[in-house]
């Protein structure tokens, strides 16, 4: 049996920063006087609580019931079938998309992939340091107390390789597909067992329910929110029709699926396509104007586009027969 008692109370302000709680005095007194006795069981923790006025009762904590990840995954047999799925998904309310080069990858921020789980420390140390470098390099002032500037700083960090609590999304299912297929092919030798790419889609219901009024990074409770960050000073974000999820949880897919069950509303769907269609997809996407050059403005994007063309081009199709060499062996005219 373990004993617990609060000694300081915190909440977060509208920007997500942790501040000392401003509760009414009597409520504060009762919370600070509350003691809990808990013991660990195979199903969680159970025990009792009591405050200074004699109120009390039983308490229990259980692990969050896990669901099996996104339930609605459409298996596309071809690239053409994916395009049909994209049209149906958008008609059904999908408004944001993200592509993965392997169906085995989780929805996880680069901050968690880097092994950093202390968002409070990240906000207190990493972001202010990055802020000072950005102002020096860009010769531009960014006010961290301003929501627009704060979001600009986060977007710059994400698109220039600094681990962040953000996850990239786009308004376009085809841009998402480009990132999925190009990643799969560029890493095909390091992932010999990968067979399918996956494109996720968030529904309008999620966006409307989980879009905060201003950019926040709270860390006192688990959350996932959708952000529309200004593309100011970030041409990549503009070109990619980029949006972001911000989260302080590790497995974002699992978290969204859990709140789906709680709200009985569909928030997340996905489609998978065999990697064998990657060359066809990238050529078709290039015909649509979706290439590395269009998504990464500058010479880096141009070189990546040309590398794709050199490495992933499909074998040339047989030259079509001339009219005089048709199936009938006779010339045709129209």
Per-residue pLDDT of the chain (334 residues; tens, 9 = 90+): 888 888 777 666 655 566 677 778 888 788 888 898 989 888 888 989 888 888 889 988 877 665 567 878 999 999 999 999 999 999 999 999 999 999 999 899 999 888 887 787 888 889 999 999 999 998 888 888 887 788 888 888 988 889 999 999 999 999 999 999 999 988 988 998 999 999 999 999 999 999 877 666 766 678 888 887 777 778 888 888 989 998 888 889 989 988 888 888 999 999 999 999 999 999 999 999 999 899 988 888 888 888 887 775 554 444 445 444 443 344 333 4
Q: Which residues contact 256 (CB under 8 A, 6 or more apart)?
A: 70, 107, 206, 224, 267, 268
Beta-strand ranges (E) seen in the chain are 2-5, 10-12, 18-20, 35-41, 44-50, 56-61, 73-75, 94-100, 166-170, 196-203, 224-227, 242-247, 268-274
Query: Which of 212, 214, 211, 193 lies closest to 202 in space, CA to CA?
Result: 211
Pairing relationship of beta strands 224-227 and 242-247 according to DSSP bridges = antiparallel
Tell whether pTM > 0.85.
Answer: no
Could you say which DSSP state residue 14 is in? T
Q: Are 289 and 301 in contact (CB under 8 A)?
A: no
CB 248, CB 49: distance < 8 Å: no
């Amino acid at each position: 049996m373990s004993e617990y008692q609060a000694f300081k109370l915190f909440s977060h302000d509208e920007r997500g920063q942790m501040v000392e709680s401003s509760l009414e005095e009597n409520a504060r007194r009762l919370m600070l006087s509350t003691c809990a006795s808990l013991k660990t069981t195979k199903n969680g923790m159970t025990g009792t609580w009591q405050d200074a006025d004699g109120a009390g009762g039983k308490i229990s904590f259980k692990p969050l019931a896990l669901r099996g990840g996104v339930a609605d995954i459409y298996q596309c047999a071809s690239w053409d079938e994916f395009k049909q799925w994209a049209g149906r998904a958008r008609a059904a309310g999908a408004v944001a998309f993200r592509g993965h080069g392997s169906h085995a990858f989780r929805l996880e921020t680069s901050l968690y992939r880097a092994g950093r789980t202390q968002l409070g420390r990240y906000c207190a140390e990493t972001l202010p340091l990055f802020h000072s470098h950005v102002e020096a390099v860009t010769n531009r002032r960014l006010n961290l107390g301003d929501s627009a500037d704060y979001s600009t700083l986060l977007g710059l960090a994400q698109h220039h390789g600094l681990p962040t609590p953000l996850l990239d999304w786009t308004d376009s299912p085809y841009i998402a597909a480009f990132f999925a297929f190009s990643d799969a092919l560029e890493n095909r030798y390091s992932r010999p067992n990968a067979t399918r790419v996956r494109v996720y889609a968030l529904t309008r219901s999620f966006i409307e329910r989980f879009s905060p009024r201003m950019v926040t990074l709270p860390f006192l409770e688990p959350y996932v929110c959708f952000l529309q960050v200004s593309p100011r000073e970030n041409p990549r974000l503009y070109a990619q029709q980029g949006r972001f999820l911000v989260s302080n949880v590790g497995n974002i897919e699992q978290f969204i699926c859990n709140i789906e069950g709680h709200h009985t509303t569909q928030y997340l769907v996905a489609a998978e396509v065999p990697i064998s269609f990657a060359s066809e997809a990238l050529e078709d996407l290039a015909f649509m104007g979706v290439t590395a050059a269009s998504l990464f403005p500058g010479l880096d994007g141009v070189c990546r586009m040309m590398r794709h063309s050199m490495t992933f081009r499909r074998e040339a199709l047989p030259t079509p027969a001339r009219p005089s060499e048709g199936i009938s062996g006779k010339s045709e005219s129209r």
